[in-house]
Amino acid sequence: MKHALLLLAASLALTAPTFAQQGWDDYETKLITVSGAIIQSRYETPNAAIGVDTPEKMWTVVLAAPSRMTSRGVSADMISLGRSVIVQGYVSKTDKDEMRAERITVNGKTFEMR
């Protein structure tokens, strides 16, 4: 019984990261561009995310991990509420209001997310 519990715990520990974030297979392959104002912002692991208000709808945009964004020059302040952004990315196959960003343009400067 003790070994079964240890095996279960080890199994859950190894699979937990798969629940933390989606893989690229969960997104379409056609690159789209949206622009608008940031109305939601989260700069936390495993991935930062913003809500972008466009004329068509409100997009949930999944960004890179904060550590990657910092290394690319994107701070939490740069994706704060009210800022205008242009995002290029891929629409989720399961949630048509969500996209995963390939790149984001803030204040006229473009940052790669991958």
Q: What's the per-residue H, E or C state across the chain? A: CHHHHHHHHHHHHHHHHHHHCCCHHHEEEEEEEEEEEEEEEECCCCCCEEEEECCCCEEEEECCCHHHHHHHCCCHHHHCCCCEEEEEEEEECCCCCEEEEEEEEECCEEEECC
pTM: 0.79
CATH code 3.40.50.300 for 22-112: no
* Domain spans in the chain, listed from the N-terminal domain onward: 22-112
On the CB side of 80, CA atoms within 13 Å amount to 4
Q: What is the pLDDT of residues 44-86, one digit of tens each?
A: 999 999 999 999 999 999 999 999 999 999 999 999 999 999 9
